[in-house]
């Protein structure tokens, strides 16, 4: 994974041999889903819901 966009030369060296993915910013729904899953491993369900809505 590259944390920056690859140059044409760098991308050309691997083009066709590895999959290419583009990063996208999280939507509000994505953030909520992530936070809910994270909190559900830390606290009971009631606390998870409360913390996710903060």
Q: How high is the pLDDT of residue 46?
A: 78
Cβ-contact 48, 39 below 8 angstroms: yes
pTM: 0.46
Q: Which of 5, 33, 41, 39 is nearest to 20 (CA)?
A: 5
Tell whether 1 is covered by a domain: no
Tell whether 30 is covered by a domain: yes
Tell whether 23 is covered by a domain: yes
Measure CA 38 to chain center. Answer: 13
Tell whether 13 is covered by a domain: yes
Q: What is the pLDDT of residues 6-54, one digit of tens each?
A: 787 887 777 777 777 777 888 989 988 888 888 888 878 777 777 777 7
Tell whether 21 is covered by a domain: yes
Tell whether 2 is covered by a domain: no
Q: How high is the pLDDT of residue 41?
A: 83
Q: How high is the pLDDT of residue 1?
A: 55
Tell whether 3 is covered by a domain: no
Tell whether 45 is covered by a domain: yes
Q: Extract the runs of DSSP E, i.e. beta strands, from 3-48.
A: none
Q: Looking at per-residue confidence, does 7 or 1 come out higher?
A: 7
Q: What is the mean pLDDT of residues 1-9?
A: 72
Total number of domains in the chain:
1
């Amino acid at each position: 994974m590259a944390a920056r966009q690859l140059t044409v030369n760098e991308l050309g060296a691997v083009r066709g041999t590895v999959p290419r993915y583009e990063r996208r910013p999280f939507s509000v729904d994505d953030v909520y889903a992530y936070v809910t899953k994270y909190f559900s491993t830390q606290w009971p369900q009631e606390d998870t819901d409360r913390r996710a809505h903060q």
